[in-house]
Amino acid sequence: MTKQEASKIVFTMRAAYPKAFPHFSKDEYERLVEIWYCILRDFSVEEGMNGLLAFIAQDKEGFPPSPGQVIDKINGMRCVPDYPTAEEAWACVRRAISDGVYHAEERFRELPPICQEVIASPGSLEAMALLPSEEVETIEMSHFLKAYNRLIAHKKEEAALPASIREQIAQTRAAAPHINTNS
């Protein structure tokens, strides 16, 4: 999206919410366009306009949206990665645990990538396989479900960010690998 296209989005928003922008100076309008451009520049003008129109169509409060609310609408119209439910993921892990004492490496590789991320290593899978089944079905399951749901929420939040912001985050992480991002 270009600044000129971002200006069309802001103009449409001003037209839909005239009370929110009663006497904007040219400088204030340009700053508003700049902010919307900086945040929405990774989206096409069609996506931005459709996100804004979707917000307006469903708005019952009468207040203009923030850029984040428009991005939420855009992301709602896009295909989002489909992850297994936490219970489905646990069922996969539970099957792997049942054969994890002697075949932890193989069973770990068979897990969906998202489960591998939560479990972290074949050694963790083997360690769980050595625990009493009551502990696996209560404590370990609880830990897994919490970690899984936290990871899914994080991945969805990250996917909702504009590409340029995701790239900046990746660069920051690469420059400071000692920072734990899963806490």
CATH code assigned at 64: 1.10.8
Together in a domain, 40 and 93? no
The answer to the question of residue 183 being in a domain is no
**Window from 3-12, 16-25, 125-134, 142-151 with minimum mean pLDDT:** 16-25
Task: State how many domains the chain has.
Answer: 2
Say what the pLDDT of residue 183 is. Answer: 46
Residue at which a domain ends, from 52, 77, 102: 77
Residue at which a domain ends, from 30, 48, 77: 77
pTM over 0.75: no
Together in a domain, 33 and 64? yes
Residue type, 137: E
Together in a domain, 72 and 90? no
Q: How confident is the model at residue 67 (pLDDT cuts 50, 70, 90)?
A: very high
Residue 62 Ramachandran class (φ > 0 left, ψ -120 to 50 alpha, else beta) = left
The answer to the question of residue 182 being in a domain is no
Overall average pLDDT of the 78-99 stretch: 89
Q: What is the C-alpha to C-alpha distance for residues 30 and 32, in angstroms, rounded to an integer? A: 5
Residue 43 in tokens: 């989206």
Query: Could you tell me which residues come within 8 angstroms of residue 116 by beta carbon, excluding any fewer than 6 positions away?
Result: 108
Q: Report how far apart, in Å, the C-alpha atoms of 173 and of each of 38, 121, 170, 177 are.
A: 22, 21, 5, 6
Together in a domain, 71 and 93? no
Residue at which a domain ends, from 77, 101, 121: 77
Residue 96 reports pLDDT greater than 90: yes
Q: How confident is the model at residue 79 (pLDDT cuts 50, 70, 90)?
A: low
Q: Helices 67-77 and 45-58 meet at what angle, rounded to 10?
A: 100
Q: What is the C-alpha to C-alpha distance for residues 145 and 28, in angstroms, rounded to an integer? A: 47
Say what the pLDDT of residue 180 is. Answer: 56
Residue 80 reports pLDDT greater than 70: no
C-beta of residue 71 within 8 angstroms of C-beta of residue 39: yes
Together in a domain, 93 and 142? yes
**Window from 52-66, 85-99, 108-122, 164-178 with minimum mean pLDDT:** 164-178
Together in a domain, 94 and 123? yes
Q: How far is CA 40 from the centre of its chain?
A: 16
Percent of the chain clearing pLDDT 70 (strictly above): 95
Percent of the chain clearing pLDDT 90 (strictly above): 68
User: What does DSSP assign to residue 81?
Assistant: P
Together in a domain, 90 and 171? yes
Together in a domain, 33 and 92? no
Domain housing 68:
3-77
